[in-house]
């Protein structure tokens, strides 16, 4: 969030980085111009000192971010949340939408648990990068203090190479552990999970305007299922078409996408029309169609190159159900 004090977008962080570089350059130039050539080595701590403090400040800043920041916005959303859908601003990215959908209708405790699990390998990796940074920073200090002689420099260089190799190997295992924690773990906070087939025949439902009983179909794609806002939810992702279903008693209506603009067809309830007016034309809505009635909403989509677009469809279905429930 720009200017909020969080991450690289923090005004403080930007000022610290740019200001630190300017100070270091100024001190380096001053030493180069003012110090006698024969005494410049003795003046080097005046340059190494600001550089060391600047780097330590950056490392400390990110320790604070990793340990205490970056997880406060979902907490704030919980305080403000009602039993409704996330605001339109949550659509700015998949991650913000996922967090918003978790807070509104999902399992926020599960989200915090997954975040803690994901943070552990990040903290270890960052800890080893700190070790490497401090090891490299120690070189000019050890030389200035006369501890690291030219004859011993090769041992120091060997230590640098050894640390690089160790961190690369450790990074490989940390990434493997993170990925192996569960390919579909991100679904649990949303209240969803991958389920076994057979599943519902979404293609037939879409063809019959969501009429008739559920059919069964085997093979192909990934099937997600769960409960959100006390409604049954199922999603089929087969690579060619995505189908997102939310069970609820609703009037019959259809919404189509015209080059990314959601347009309700004739006969749609006024509440649906008013809700859709707030949604601007966007690429996220290209290639989808929503059909409702009388027992469920089904969103059919051609996913294209983008992945996990079904989450936007689920948000849209829940938003329209919320609008219908208020009228």
Sign of CA dihedral 185, 200, 309, 304: positive
Look up residue 238 and give its DSSP letter. Answer: -
DSSP class per residue in 128-153: HHHHHHHHHHHHHHHHHTT-S-GGGH
Nearest to 316 by CA among 155, 67, 86: 86
Q: Which two tokens stand for residue 223?
A: 């099937």
- Reply yes or no on whether the pLDDT at 159 is more than 60: yes
> What is the predicted pLDDT for the residue at 215?
37
- Reply yes or no on whether the pLDDT at 311 is more than 60: yes
The string of pLDDT tens digits covering residues 71-80 is: 444 444 444 4
The string of pLDDT tens digits covering residues 235-273 is: 988 777 889 999 999 999 999 999 999 999 988 999 999
Indicate the burial class of 128 (C-beta count within 10 angstroms; 0-12, 13-18, 19 or more): middle
Which residue has 């689920």 as its token pair? Answer: 314
> Where does the pLDDT of residue 41 fall: very low under 50, low under 70, confident under 90, or very high at 90 and above?
low
Mean pLDDT to the nearest integer, 289-308: 85
Rounded Cα gap, residues 227 and 266, in angstroms = 31
CB 276 within 8 A of CB 220: no
> What is the predicted pLDDT for the residue at 106?
84
As a whole number, the mean pLDDT across the chain is 80
CB 136 within 8 A of CB 59: no
pTM: 0.62
Look up residue 282 and give its DSSP letter. Answer: -
Helix residue ranges, H only, the chain: 11-34, 40-43, 45-68, 72-80, 94-103, 108-144, 153-180, 202-207, 270-277, 310-325
Q: At what angle do helices 45-68 and 11-34 cross, to 10 degrees?
A: 170
Q: Alpha carbon of 63 to those of 123, 125, 160: distances in Å? A: 8, 12, 23
> What is the predicted pLDDT for the residue at 208?
43
> What is the predicted pLDDT for the residue at 178?
57
Chain-centre distance of CA 19, in angstroms?
30
Query: H-helix or E-strand containing 292?
Result: strand 288-292
Q: Which two tokens stand for residue 214?
A: 């559920």
Chain-centre distance of CA 12, in angstroms?
23
């Amino acid at each position: 969030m720009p200017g909020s004090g969080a991450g690289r977008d923090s005004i403080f962080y930007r000022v610290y980085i740019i200001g630190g570089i300017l100070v270091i350059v100024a001190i380096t130039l001053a030493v180069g111009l003012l110090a006698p050539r024969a005494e410049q080595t003795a003046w080097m701590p005046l340059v190494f000192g600001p550089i060391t403090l600047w780097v330590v400040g950056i490392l400390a800043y990110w320790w604070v971010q990793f340990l205490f920041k970056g997880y406060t916005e979902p907490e704030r959303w919980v305080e403000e949340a009602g039993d409704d859908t996330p605001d339109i601003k949550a659509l700015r990215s998949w991650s913000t939408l996922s967090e918003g959908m978790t807070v509104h209708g999902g399992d926020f405790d599960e989200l915090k648990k997954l975040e803690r699990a994901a943070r552990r390998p990040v903290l270890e990796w960052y800890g080893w990068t700190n070790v490497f940074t401090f090891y490299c920073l120690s070189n000019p200090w050890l030389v200035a203090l006369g501890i690291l002689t030219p004859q011993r420099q090769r041992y120091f260089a060997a230590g640098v190479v050894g640390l690089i190799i160790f961190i690369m190997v450790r990074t490989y295992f940390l990434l493997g552990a993170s990925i192996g924690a569960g390919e579909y773990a991100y679904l649990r906070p949303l209240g969803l999970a991958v389920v076994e087939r057979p599943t519902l025949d979404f293609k037939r439902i879409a063809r019959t305007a969501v009429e008739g009983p559920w059919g069964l179909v085997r093979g192909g794609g990934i099937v997600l299922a769960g409960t959100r806002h006390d409604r049954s939810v199922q999603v089929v992702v087969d690579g060619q078409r995505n189908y997102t279903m939310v069970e609820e008693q609703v009037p019959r209506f259809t919404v189509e996408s015209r080059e990314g603009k959601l347009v309700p067809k004739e006969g749609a309830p006024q509440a649906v029309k008013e809700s859709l007016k707030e949604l601007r034309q966007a690429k996220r809505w290209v290639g989808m169609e929503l059909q409702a009635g009388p027992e469920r909403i089904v969103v059919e989509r051609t996913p294209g190159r983008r992945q996990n677009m079904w989450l936007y469809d689920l948000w849209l279905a829940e938003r329209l159900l919320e609008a219908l429930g208020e009228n």
